[in-house]
Chain A
């Protein structure tokens, strides 16, 4: 690798050295490096960029040294921030019921419910913003409005990233892409529109409404059905006569598919066991959906490394 002569060259080399690393890590590392290099350059403006970089390779580190340092750091962050992994269970039953001991399950479950609210908000924001931008673009005020709107979308994508990282455990960037330097205002605005990430973020926000509805419905339905089933013995113990529609000759009758019979404790207990199984299956589903959603969010919200 030859010595970088411009800041952009340095960043390119750093990006190349970080190839294969987590895109969120790459975004953070590039932001840090650019901030440091620009500050170094501003400190002694009379020095040329190449001289500054020659000095920086000694103090800040050469691109591959920095890359190695960030990879190291990432392993430590993962270890420090992640909740301890749940003990690996071998048996089928252990794996099935172990889901309840995984903190990520509850994060995902909560995210599923929250997704309806955030989904509605993002969708409304994007639809309103895009249509107002389109409508106002014929007027002078249209331009600042469009710029403000796209800026707000970027900020929201960082916020959503924090939520996804906290609840679903997918590593998301903590810093936005570094704002471009030395560009005219028009070029900067143009860059906002040519950046693919802007558009994928908009797509993600639109997608969040249908996804949020699906997540919310699945979670609420399955959890309430499961809890209802689990409660069957209690219902039976207190008031078997609530089921008055099913009464024949003063006795409640139930047909599970193999002939009518009068239900008793047996039915209630079977329902309860079914409910417990369904609840754990729901937890599995929530955790699985959370994992998939984390992956979707990383693809659409993080600029590809």
Chain B
């Protein structure tokens, strides 16, 4: 029996792209809270959503798995959980902006999350380098 080789190869590539996309999406879903909290934790002044999006854009893809719209609901959830606080300020040249900053419990949570992330990363690295 003959199958069309180019067709099946195309399907396989599609499959691979799909798997990769899904994996990237899951990775980003797991890390985006940590990244946002860390960006705000390191910043000296409060930041608004667009600024954060631009900073992450400079780092390249990966953190948000492409779309910057993913960051706003996460910011809002972190605020609802009391890890961030926000206020709206009118700006001189542009639209009013919602500035976010890290709260005290947010800093404590960030410290724990960073430790958890380091532990996860180290163990994943070890597995990938074949030290198991």
- Interface residue ranges, A against B (CB under 8 Å): 28, 32-36, 38-43, 45, 59-61, 65-66, 69-70, 73, 76-77, 80-81, 174-175, 179, 181
Contacts and interface: CB of A to CB of B under 8 A. Distances in A.
Given A38-B95, A69-B67, A174-B80, A28 B50 contact: no
B69 A69 contact: yes
Given A174-B76, A174-B80, A36 B94 contact: no
B76 A36 contact: no
Contacts of B107: none
A66 B69 contact: yes
Nearest to B95: A38
Interface residues of B, number: 25
Interface of B is mostly: helix
Interface string B26-67: 000100000000000000000011100100010000000011
Contacts of B67: 59-61, 65-66, 69
Contacts, number: 75
A65 B93 CA distance: 30
Interface of A is mostly: helix
Given A174-B76, A174-B80, A42 B95 contact: yes
Contacts of B79: 174
Interface in B76-119: 76-77, 79-80, 91, 93-98
Interface of B: 29, 48-50, 53, 57, 66-70, 72-74, 76-77, 79-80, 91, 93-98
A33 B76 contact: no
Contacts of B50: 35-36, 39-40, 43
A207 B119 CA distance: 55
Contacts of B76: 28, 32, 174-175
Contacts of B72: 32, 35-36
Contacts of B98: 35
A77 B95 contact: no
A175 B120 CA distance: 35
A305 B79 CA distance: 24
Contacts of A73: 70, 73-74
B70 to A, nearest CB: 6
Contacts of A77: 73, 77
Lowest 8 A-B CB distances belong to which pairs? A42-B94, A39-B50, A38-B95, A32-B72, A61-B67, A73-B73, A66-B69, A61-B69
B53 A59 contact: yes
Given A60-B67, A60-B68, A69-B67, A39 B73 contact: no
Nearest to B48: A39
B49 A32 contact: yes
